[in-house]
Structure 1
Amino acid sequence: MPASPSTARAINDRLALRLLQQEGPLTAGQLKQLTGLSRPTVADLVERLTASDLITVVGEAGEQRRGPNAKLYGIAADRAHLAALDVRTEGVSVVVSDLVGRVLAEASVPIGGDTGTGPAVEQAVTLVERVVKEAGADRLHTVGIGAPGLIDPSTGELRDSSGLPEWHRRLVAALQERLPEARVSVENETNLAALAEQRDGAARDRDTFVLLWLGHGTGAAVVLDGALRRGASGGTGEIGFLPVPGTAALPSATDCEGGFHSLAGSAAIVQLAGECGLTAAESAREPVAAGVVREAAVLVSGARAVEGLLPDADAAARFLDALADRLAVGVASVVAVLDPGCLVLGGEVGQAGGDELALRVADRVRRLSPLPTEVRAGALGGGAVLRGALLTARDRAQDELFAPPGRWSAPSGR
């Protein structure tokens, strides 16, 4: 049965909008070529989408020809404004963007461990409101939040966890109350980092991979056949609780100390560096653990270039080797169960280690597992969480705004 004229128009509009999302600004002629639609049909849909304020003229095509240059049409970027939050145990970062993802304003605020729940929530919400104002946005359409912890797959809410600050859970409700028109959703930080690395980073050519998050704590995100896997309770990738050799005790249901976290968390990495004779210096630019890993990688690669004449290069090599030994224990466990073929060392530490650390981990996994696994350094580091939250917010806003008439769903936690 052929589609009705209104359904056909909606399908054509949706196709054109998707192409403008993926390809950027296009002329009517390019839309005709990419969609296979007739010239009059393309002219009609361009007129409809322009009248609906979904697309706008953003320039002219570069090629010169007789008569005027062709108009370039693009997504109406100011149709909606979006916010993304990266919520950490020690603070929160915020970016506000337009509908095509162009960042308009951003800021961060530290939140100390001794800050009460109410004041911490107020600090975070006030930061969001300030960044929205600096971006020149009247209101937010969608807010994407990345936070540590488990997301309940049935409700989309951040689950209570004894190891995380209470203000994390309160923040989501507070934002929804202060921004009643916005669609607010929360996702595990490591899952968002994996999305960002797949779309814009180290896993762009992979539809099956695992991201190992190496930051303040540890975690993993699993992407199989292009789909993020969350598990029955939202706990896929809680690798910090993985029992491993080399620790003094076993983890418990409420504490990951004694698990893989005790080998690969930031505190453990800094301690390992000290045992190898390296000093971890404080830095405003990146966490201490990432800084000492980055410095070690630079020393080792530099020593190789000048045939080992750099001071501290031997200590740096011992440190990277020992860290790779630890990481390989967790990676080999993941590989044995999932066989992802590719593992990305994400977070600030994974990016800081670069190829020096990734190649060492790959070598050890090759000895531990018969399953071929490529190990890559993350390209986005700690910024992957904010990038993933912004990508998610943009996708959800565009899905709603670009939906055919009559198709609308109420905002929800997911």
Structure 2
Amino acid sequence: MPRTASPHTARLINDWMAYDLLLGHGPMSRAELQQRTGLSRATVGDLVDRMVEAGLISQVGQSQTRRRGPNALLYGVVADRAHVAGVEVRPDQVIASVNDVTGRQIGAAALPQDQRVEPDRLVYDAIAAALADAKVTHLDGVVIGTLGIVDPVSGDVAFIWALPTWHANLLPGLRDRLGGVPVLVENEVNLVGLAEHRLGAARGHDTFALLSLGEGIGVAVILDGRLHRGRSGGAGEIATAPTGLGGGTVQDLVGGHAVRELARQHGLPADDAVSAVRQATPAFLDALADRVAIAAMGICAVLDPGFVVLAGEIGRAAGAPLAARVEERLQRDTPLPTEVAVGTVEGDPVVRGAVVIALERLHRQTFDREPGS
């Protein structure tokens, strides 16, 4: 016999549906919520009263619609009810952002990498500086995007080639320093993939691959709407994968050094790969697309994602012209129909992804609780 939702669960579902609408569309009246949710007037009235009492939403004004009688009250989310932090660990610095429940950044900080400082201390100091900038004293969740491999069992850093002093004490050390605040550590390319899925070019695509092109190379894999990490957290670590071209790897083919050398061959400024790509000639883009397509063909042959997003500093700088060329080569050289697009998440995609996931975890904690859980 199929199970039906308990009255408590049904209320949580309705509350979340209304709250999500207010998050996404801004303040609404009870009548507007009723129209958008399809719930009864009484049900909407109850959920509004319930969420006002819980401090989740509040009255924020009145409708300006011209009508007889008093204007309808508008309700919006209480933005400062809770705060989360998104952090990006780079080879040269640690960046932290503090955001309210709407995702709006209210504080930020960046600290230089220092191999003499314990990783958990460095991340904590960056978060503390961002909290001070935001004039906030408490966090309700933290998500950290880091280079390297994150162990899916322990949830901690397993290996960072670019940061040899970073070790598997980041997660427990931060939990101790933050006093029980929920903390998640995730690979930075995976967070970019989740950001593009929630906010950017991959919205509406529940299966896709994101190819990050920068100094290093990485892939985020989303299958049926879920991030695929692999057994040991190494899914998408394709930098060392062989290309079959003279014994070289994908990193040798399209990493930052390779792009700079290719730019040099085409007479472009080669001190900085991103600058070179921004000044690219059609011939340079054709040659770069040939290389990127080789990496993308390997991804498509194994995963058949149907949709590939080019991200990373080089991928975003090359933009739509490179994406179109790579798509053309995939259509020509593989039997699998694959669309290629460039990432569209603005700002720092790793931090944006960290904040998005931190807020999703916060909302689940708020709306997924059964009595006694």
CA contact (8 A) 1:125 1:171 kept: no
The answer to whether the Cα contact below 8 Å between 1:20 and 1:75 also exists between their aligned partners in 2 is yes
Question: 1:7-406 residue pairs with structure 2 within 5 A?
Answer: 7-111=9-113, 115-118=114-117, 122-167=121-166, 169-247=168-246, 249=247, 258-281=248-271, 288-296=272-280, 316-380=281-345, 383-404=348-369, 406=371
Q: For each residue in 1:260-292, what CA deviation from the matched residue of structure 2 results, as whole angstroms up to 9, or x when unmatched?
A: 0111111221122112221134xxxxxx32221
Q: Does the 8 A contact of 2:109 with 2:133 survive in 1?
A: no
Identify unmatched segments of 5+ residues in structure 2.
none
Q: Is the 8 A contact 1:83 1:94 kept in 2?
A: yes
Offset at residue 120 of structure 1 (A)? 5.9
Deviation track 1:298-330 (CA, whole Å, cap 9, x = no partner) reads xxxxxxxxxxxxxxxxxx333222211111111
In 1, Cα distance between equivalents of 2:244 and 2:345: 30
The question of whether the paired residues in 1 share the 8 Å contact of 2:150 and 2:159 is answered with no
Q: Quote the RMSD (CA, aligned, Å).
A: 2.3
In 2 relative to 1, CA 195–47 (structure 1 residues): closer, same or farther, beyond 3 Å? same
Paired residue secondary structure (1:109)? strand
- 2:159 is paired with a residue of what secondary structure? coil
- Partner of 2:99, secondary structure, is strand
Task: Give the distance between the partners of 1:31 and 1:71, measured in 2 at CA.
Answer: 12
Distance 1:5 1:365, change over 3 A: closer
Q: Is the 8 A contact 1:92 1:110 kept in 2?
A: yes
Provide the secondary structure at the position in 2 that maps to 1:46: helix
Contact 2:120 2:171 (C-alpha < 8 Å) held by counterparts: no
Q: What's the TM-score, normalizing by structure 1?
A: 0.83
Q: Letter of the aligned partner of 1:231 in structure 2?
A: G
**CA deviation after TM superposition for structure 1 residue 87, in Å:** 0.9
Alpha-carbon deviation of 1:52? 0.9
8 Å CA contact retained: 1:345, 1:351: yes
Structure 1 residue 224 displacement after superposition: 2.1
Contact 1:89 1:165 in 2 (8 A): no
**One-letter code aligned to 1:379:** T
1:373–1:92 CA distance, 2 compared to 1 (3 A): same
CA shift for structure 1 position 340: 1.4
TM-score, length basis structure 2: 0.91
Distance verdict in 2 for CA 1:4–1:190, change over 3 Å: closer
Cα shift at 1:4? 5.7
Kindly tell me: are residues 192 and 143 of structure 1, through their superposed partners in 2, closer, same or farther at Cα, counting changes over 3 Å? same
Question: C-alpha separation between the residues in 2 aligned to 1:71 and 1:43?
Answer: 12
How many percent of aligned residue pairs carry the same amino acid? 45
Q: CA deviation at 1:196?
A: 1.0
